[in-house]
Amino acid sequence: MNKLTKEQEIIKLIFKDFLTHYNSRSISKPINISRVWAFKVFKNLEKREIVKSEKIGNAIIYSLNLDNPVTHKEIELILIIEAENFRRWKEEFKELEKKVNFLILFGSITRNEKTASDIDLLIVANSKKLKEIEKIIEKLQRYTSKKIHPLIQTMKDFKKDLNKKNKTIIDIIKTGIVLFGQEEFRKALK
């Protein structure tokens, strides 16, 4: 199993939980590190221009520096490493890889494969590919014991949901695993 470093976990959390403002104290608990360690990680990331800081009252809030192309590549690498831990599902759905902008595995299947009763997917694709994707899903359903629940959207609909801060989409982004299209996913959230 590929493990992310604490630094990568911080970058991933700030990226995926983009509606939350993080400082060294607030990020230390979900990452399971001390506030002092989180502060040191943030200072290192700031020195490398991966994050930028902003003083709000007494707190220093950190955000990703999306003007830095290195930040983009770091995010994509983190998403790829995370997806490698779900190689079985990458194999299962590889027929969709070239058809989608990106595909996110989410729900109970990402927490416990054995007890999950279904497979939840968020598929974002060009409207011209939607019928083809639906046919592939139907075919794949015949070969898996778990029910596949695809949520299929165009990029336009996905961005509309993002702008509206659609709770379901935001939760999928926070907790889901981007199996394919990490670069497109990163661009969609920029």
Can you tell me the mean pLDDT for 110-132?
93
pLDDT score, position 115: 86
Amino acid at 59: A
pLDDT digits (tens, 9 = 90+) for 41-94: 999 999 999 999 999 998 899 999 999 999 999 999 999 999 999 999 999 999
pLDDT above 90 for 114:
no
Question: Mean pLDDT of all residues in the chain?
Answer: 95
Residue-level pLDDT at 113: 84
pLDDT of residue 1: 67
**Mean pLDDT in residue range 165-171:** 96
- How high is the pLDDT of residue 62? 97
pLDDT of res. 149:
96
